[in-house]
Structure 1
Amino acid sequence: MLSAVCSVRQTASGIAPMQRRLLSRIANPLPATFLRGGTSKGIFLKRSDLPESQDDWPPIFQGIMGSPDPQYRRQLNGMGGGVSSLSKICVVGPPSSPETGADVEYTFVQVGIEDGALDLSGNCGNLSSMIGVFALDEGLCSPRTTDGNPGLATVRSFNTNTSKLIDTTFPVTPDLSPDLTLPEVETAGVPGKASRIVLQFVKPGGARTGKLLPTSSPVDTVPYSDDASATIPVSLVDATNPTVFVSAEHLAKTLGLLKEQITAEFLTRPDVEATLERIRQAGAVRMGLDPAAKAQPKIAVLSAPTSSSDGGAGVDIVIHAFSMGVLHKAVPMTVGLCLGVAANVKGTLAHDIVSTVWSTRNTAQGELVRIRHPGGTVDVGAKFDEDGTVLNAQVVRTGRRLMKGVVWW
């Protein structure tokens, strides 16, 4: 099995002779589909078209994406786009065990732009929304339909990164082919309307650590510099993907600023990025995760809505999330889902912000949380059992088929 982070940097001359002979039996070009899911794009591959051992994946996936590219960071030699949301691969196949109850299973791979490292430490919520579509297109499973609404189909997938079940429900034609062209909903950051894809994570708590709150506390303190006594409050939450949440107010105090100065532009300053990376790594250690794994946990800065437009739009909380050390142009969907769950967990930084906003509006706490991110807004839902167990987290996405054919690696 490939470790959570595979930092092998292999080139044609750096591949062992035995591996080179094995890879020579793998098709090049390789059958592939290029799909958009939410605000991400990625290459979707069938598991049967790849080497049996994941240890042999690095040179194939690096070649597909055009990594490593430390000098230019554009991945011009591959299908990547020079940002983390465009350097992704999903490997889909039949379920390896009937005990999961899934129709298909998939492995998500984040490919490092500069170093070509393969990170399997988490999942991608945006691309998860297209697993069912790809599975039906490739004949990997049959959809689940209901007599009450024959125009909708559901595919249940098992994500091997997090060992979690995800349901995707989307429109289908009479012959049960996915129909993505209906002008039903918009996804912030994506032009135009498309078919509604309901993405539902089943029991998403403890995706990596086994616990919704890995430290059993809604708020912890972690160091943000080499001085261990210099600490900042954080909420460490693991739902769909582990995330370190920090408030803009606390970050401002840490940096000797006003919270109004914590803008998107400010967050892209190298010194601020470095501080947030220290916080992220410290949070990873407290969660029992590898701090060197860039993809997980994510880190996000939260703040209360302050503008009149936010008030008019019913925004409950504002987020600026980072992916692979870079400020995301929207929000990684697993982070958005994690925030939707965290906002309903008493005592977390997210809950403190959202509950204050709801109290000022005389609004009762509900299942939906409206999040504003740099690309727009998204509504995230979370349902809890009476004992506090997260039953599911869901969000609406859209997707589009972009290309089907072969890809050179």
Structure 2
Amino acid sequence: MLRRLTTAHWNPLATYVAKMNLSSVANPLPATFLRGGTSKGIFLNKAVLPDNRADWTPIFLGIMGSPDAEYGRQLNGMGGGVSSLSKIMVVGLPTPEQKAQGIQVEYTFVQVGIRDSSIDYSGNCGNLTSMIGVYAIDEGLCTPVKNVARATIRCFNTNTQKVIDTTFPVSEDGTPVLDLPETTMAGVPGKASQIILDFVNPGGARTGKLLPTGNPIDTVSLTNGQSVKVSLVDATNPTVFVDHAELRTFLPIDDYIKGKASAVEEVSPILEEIRQQGAKRMELDPSAQAQPKIAMLHAPHTAEDASQNVSIVIHALSMGVLHKAVPMTVGLCLGVASKIEGTIAWDITKNSASELVRIRHPGGLVDVGAEFGSDGQVQSAKVVRTGRRLMKGVLWH
């Protein structure tokens, strides 16, 4: 039986907040569906959710259609069956202390499990972060900046306790403009407005240290008797970097990247073991699949790489699955790692003359930049993204 929407479902946010109590939450909820970079996600105003974060879990699982253990398609919800489409952003007003520091909006990133009921708050999503400032202005959480060509919104990410600035074009009245033909982005058709993400002091996002072990290279021992060199770097999000060339000496990595079933079956558990060993060295929970990520690095090796001035090639995993693009926080972490002497990334890129690191990933190319202070600490990591408004309305959970 179809349910007809009445005007009550479209009332202002206050209507929904008034209905809430400690044991219930409005259903449906007001929500916005946005693309940011190569991800799409649900954006929610924090005011419509219960105060207790523990009560968010059933709401988010219902929104995404998880768990979908049998099919992994999330057809009962807004998820798309892959990690980059099973994401939620909860956006709210800053605390008085944050506001005093110039922070204009606070947000929490939620990675929702697909086949299971996992709700992961351990990391951030760089792609969807590109739309936090836009959403905040659209929803009235931030005051529009008028009579300027571009506005910068300072955001605070609760997952990593880090500050990120987003800069994007606005109209004369301060409305974000996303359809200017300014830039292209690998994996997304057409041109759109340029959104600049600047991660301020991104080092130690989860562990408190840029190099959690203090070493640019560590060696982990595997149950199959092999040992593998890794670079454990924590910038924007912690990542375990491994050398594609080393893995190739004992694993069918090339067939794995091509998606051959026998190689996937052989390689996947080894990569997960490496990731978990890296997590332990970083003093992170090895059972949390979302963090740290693991990525394989390769030196440029094709004529196309040379013609496009590629600095480094990456294949990254997300939630145990080879990603069709590089997760943006992993790309930013790689840009930082490339500037740290002795890391696997530095060894591959050290002869590059460019200040920017040009990364080739399965979806195309992306340029990232990192700035370091005289004390050797990373001050900033920057990348360009695009985004698009897709839908605004209500959703059931």
Per the normalisation by structure 1, the TM-score is 0.89
Is the alpha carbon distance of 1:308 and 1:226 closer, same or farther for their aligned partners in structure 2, counting shifts above 3 Å?
closer
Contact 1:144 1:155 in 2 (8 A): no
Which of 224, 241, 244 lines up with 1:245 in the alignment?
Answer: 241
Contact 2:144 2:173 in 1 (8 A): no
Secondary structure at the counterpart of residue 76 of structure 2: coil
1:300 and 2:295 correspond: yes
Shift in Å at residue 252 of structure 1?
Answer: 1.2
The separation in 2 between residues aligned to 1:140 and 1:380, in whole angstroms, is 29
The separation in 1 between residues aligned to 2:194 and 2:230, in whole angstroms, is 34
Shift in Å at residue 27 of structure 1?
Answer: 1.1
Contact 1:143 1:155 in 2 (8 A): no
Query: Match for residue 211 of structure 1?
Result: 209
The separation in 2 between residues aligned to 1:264 and 1:97, in whole angstroms, is 51
User: 5 Å matches for 1:178-257?
Assistant: 178-225=176-223, 227=225, 230-255=226-251
Alpha-carbon displacement from aligned partner over 1:219-272 (angstroms, at most 9, x marks no partner): 001123254xx31000000000000000101111243x6x86674436961210
Query: Match for residue 378 of structure 2?
Result: 390
Is the alpha carbon distance of 1:127 and 1:181 closer, same or farther for their aligned partners in structure 2, counting shifts above 3 Å?
same
The separation in 2 between residues aligned to 1:269 and 1:298, in whole angstroms, is 18
Residue type at the aligned position of 1:174: E
Residue type at the aligned position of 2:109: F
Is the alpha carbon distance of 1:244 and 1:398 closer, same or farther for their aligned partners in structure 2, counting shifts above 3 Å?
same
1:281 and 2:276 correspond: yes
1:265 and 2:259 correspond: yes
Alpha-carbon displacement from aligned partner over 1:355-399 (angstroms, at most 9, x marks no partner): 14x2xxxx3xx4310000000000001000011110100000000
Query: Match for residue 47 of structure 1?
Result: 46
Query: Match for residue 142 of structure 2?
Result: 141
Query: Match for residue 15 of structure 1?
Result: none
Which of 308, 311, 314 lines up with 2:306 in the alignment?
Answer: 311
The separation in 2 between residues aligned to 1:308 and 1:287, in whole angstroms, is 37
The separation in 2 between residues aligned to 1:69 and 1:395, in whole angstroms, is 34
Shift in Å at residue 156 of structure 1?
Answer: 0.4
User: 5 Å matches for 1:337-356?
Assistant: 337-356=332-351
1:83 and 2:79 correspond: no
Secondary structure at the counterpart of residue 244 of structure 1: strand
Residue type at the aligned position of 1:210: G
Contact 1:224 1:276 in 2 (8 A): no
Contact 1:45 1:89 in 2 (8 A): yes
Is the alpha carbon distance of 1:136 and 1:342 closer, same or farther for their aligned partners in structure 2, counting shifts above 3 Å?
same
Query: Match for residue 12 of structure 1?
Result: none
Is the alpha carbon distance of 1:253 and 1:341 closer, same or farther for their aligned partners in structure 2, counting shifts above 3 Å?
same
Percent identity (aligned): 64
Aligned pair count reads 375
Structure 2: gaps spanning 5 or more residues: 1-19
Is the alpha carbon distance of 1:23 and 1:367 closer, same or farther for their aligned partners in structure 2, counting shifts above 3 Å?
farther
Contact 2:144 2:175 in 1 (8 A): no
Residue type at the aligned position of 2:137: L
Query: Match for residue 373 of structure 1?
Result: 361
Contact 1:367 1:383 in 2 (8 A): no
Residue type at the aligned position of 1:233: K
Query: Match for residue 14 of structure 1?
Result: none
Contact 1:184 1:196 in 2 (8 A): yes
Is the alpha carbon distance of 1:340 and 1:299 closer, same or farther for their aligned partners in structure 2, counting shifts above 3 Å?
same
Secondary structure at the counterpart of residue 52 of structure 1: coil
Residue type at the aligned position of 2:187: G
Residue type at the aligned position of 2:387: G
Shift in Å at residue 23 of structure 1?
Answer: 7.0
The separation in 2 between residues aligned to 1:261 and 1:327, in whole angstroms, is 12
The separation in 1 between residues aligned to 2:260 and 2:69, in whole angstroms, is 25
Residue type at the aligned position of 2:169: P
Which of 171, 175, 178 lines up with 1:177 in the alignment?
Answer: 175
Is the alpha carbon distance of 1:97 and 1:283 closer, same or farther for their aligned partners in structure 2, counting shifts above 3 Å?
farther
The separation in 2 between residues aligned to 1:386 and 1:134, in whole angstroms, is 36
Query: Match for residue 121 of structure 1?
Result: 122
Structure 1 stretches of 4+ with a deviation exceeding 6 A read: 259-262
Per the normalisation by structure 2, the TM-score is 0.91
Q: Could you say what the CA RMSD is over the residues aligned between the two structures, in angstroms?
A: 1.7
